[in-house]
Amino acid sequence: MSTPDVPLRLELTYELPGTAEQVWDAIATSGGIGSWFIPTDVEERRGGTIVVYMGDEQSPGTVTGWDPPRRFAYEEPDWAGLMGQEGAVVTPLATEFLVEARSGGTCVVRVVSSAFGVGADWERQAFESMEKGWAPFFEHLRLYLSHFAGQRATLLSVAADMPGAPEEAVTAMRYALGIEQNGQRIVVRGLGGQVDRISGDHLLLRLTDPMPGYLAFYAYDTGKGGSGAEVRGYLFSPDAEEYVKREQPAWKAWLTSLAVRAS
């Protein structure tokens, strides 16, 4: 039987606005992580539990490093199952955040994820996908730390399968939203703001009225000949919960209609 002795590793570095304490709050607390990433429960101590929620799936793990505000680390033992590889011979996925304060009110954050496998193609592809997947979320974190540090978001989230490559799915969303350039003023489903970022697989809007926050539109390769498209909103307002309850079904219908038209 093969043994997991082939190293798998990704390492990413980002310079972000904010103090080390603000960055720590954003990456190592349940409310902080959920305000730029995806819903996550963190028991704030070494040896505590961590559970990352991905739609109907979840990835439980253990906090292995807790040194505020410098180092936060955890392990997820069942990551292969999330990749559709139940029973694969791999070690737990270890993720580590290292925070280094810089002068001028910024921090450098280094993210390292690693495991050992047997050298299978799916392992390499999984790490490539993880590396690519981090990029848009760190754009969210940049925006969060710039404008909403310490606040807690109400999440809006809808998804749909779309034909074609991720770039085609994002182009369809961009066209439907009327997005032309960075800095453009825009109103979408009653929320006004401006375009913060445009890339091939990610659109990011900063919202200012009637409630502050940001909206992200992105797509990814499902590996099944199509793309997964998502709309994810992080809203910072006492009225946000009511907005999500009222408008989330309409956002779902909007995204689904794009998928139907693209078919």
Dist CA 57 CA 32 (whole Å): 21
pLDDT of residue 17: 97
Residue with tokens 């848009």: 136
The domain made up of 6-147 is a member of CATH 3.30.530.20: yes
Residues 6+ apart with CB under 8 A from 169: 162, 219, 227, 229, 258, 262
pLDDT digits (tens, 9 = 90+) for 149-192: 999 999 999 999 998 899 999 999 999 999 999 999 999 999 99
What would the DSSP string read from start to end of 42-54?
E-SSTT-EEEEEE
pLDDT digits (tens, 9 = 90+) for 43-78: 999 999 999 998 788 999 999 999 999 999 999 999
What's the CATH fold of domain 154-262?
Answer: Alpha-D-Glucose-1,6-Bisphosphate; Chain A, domain 4 (3.30.530)
0.85 surpassed by pTM: yes
pLDDT digits (tens, 9 = 90+) for 226-235: 899 999 999 9
Pair 84, 100: CB distance under 8 Å: no
Q: Which of 72, 75, 73 is nearest to 23 (CA)?
A: 72
Domain definitions of the chain by residue range: 6-147, 154-262
**Is 154-262 in the same CATH topology as 6-147?**
yes
CA 145 vs. chain centroid, Å, equals 15
pLDDT digits (tens, 9 = 90+) for 102-147: 998 999 999 999 999 999 999 999 999 999 989 999 999 999 999 9
Pair 66, 49: CB distance under 8 Å: no
